[in-house]
Amino acid sequence: MKINCFALMLALLIPISSMHKIDIADLNHIRSEEEVIDLNPAADEKNEKIDFIDEEKIEDPIDENTNIEGEKIDIIKFNVNGLNLKAGISSEEVLRVKKFFKLMGYTEIIEDYYFDNEFKDIVMKYQMDKGLVSDGIIGPNTYAKINEDMEINKINICYEEMGFNADIPMGQWIIINKSNNTLYHLNGNEVINKYPVATGKSPLHTPEGKFSIVIKSINPAWGGAGIHKPVRGGAPNNPLGKRWLGLSIKGGGTYGIHGNAAPQSIGTYASLGCVRMFNEDVENLYDLIQYGTPVWIGNEFKLNEFGKIRSVYGKDKISNYCEYF
């Protein structure tokens, strides 16, 4: 009877043991295909190679708007309400726009400040491609489209940096660069502001050299320059506009920095020798400038000879930052 009981128990255990072996085999089979279950952790710790991430070797993703030092850099966009650029204008902004068109593949023309008829044709081609009015004038709509393309293509067009080759005046002083028709208001070596201006019709019309402010006048009268009828001060048609900053040439009443009655002339070579500004710009400058303020006038080459200016051009390219050399 004991033997029979033992045989019965053995008969019952054999199927259970067989089932257990089948389950293990099945699970190992699942693991080999799916690798989802670890039945022997100790063995895997010895044999399985685990690739750990080395955090020190991870490189942060490059922000498209950072420089090589990782500093956040905003793309230097054009002021959509700035000076309208057209044929005859000479300006820093003309140079920047030419660099933009060169990077966009529209031109290989020489990069300079002057907007000539050849460049007008390039602007018209761009305007036509972008569905704009093709008039060859860079105004608010064209500026906005250029800014959009700069953002899309990560194009940054640097402004010039200004350096100096000689001792600079203490306090406030002025540089008028006839090459780009720009007036720079400085305090020591810091540029406080810069303004577009109009200068003489020919290179000889606007004197070059070092001068100073000797007269300040609000709503000056215009004498007609000997060929026109005089115009009273404050009149809307007064060519001198609302302010006069007389230069130390012939007593201060012949050549000066002043407003205008023809804002479309700003940026061009149009005057009889004076330096024209937008009326709101000269009003702002007038309030900041004192008698005796030094004024240096010349084209870029002359200013270099005087030792007062050295323009440093940026490496403008499709990139996320501006370099200077």
Q: Write out the catalytic residue numbers.
A: 258, 274
Give just the sign of the alpha carbon dihedral 204, 205, 206, 212: positive
Closest of 166, 186, 164, 167 to residue 175, by C-alpha? 186
Give me the residue label for tokens 């006839």: 178
Beta partners for residue 258, in sequence order: 244, 276
Indicate the SS3 state at residue 185: strand
d(CA 135, CA 145): 15
Query: Token pair for residue 123?
Result: 């602007």
| Phi, then psi, of 138 in degrees rounded to 5 | -90, 100
Nearest to 151, CA basis, from 94, 78, 224: 78
User: What does the alpha-carbon distance between residue 30 and residue 129 come to, in Å, rounded to a whole number?
Assistant: 61
Beta bridge partners of 114: 90
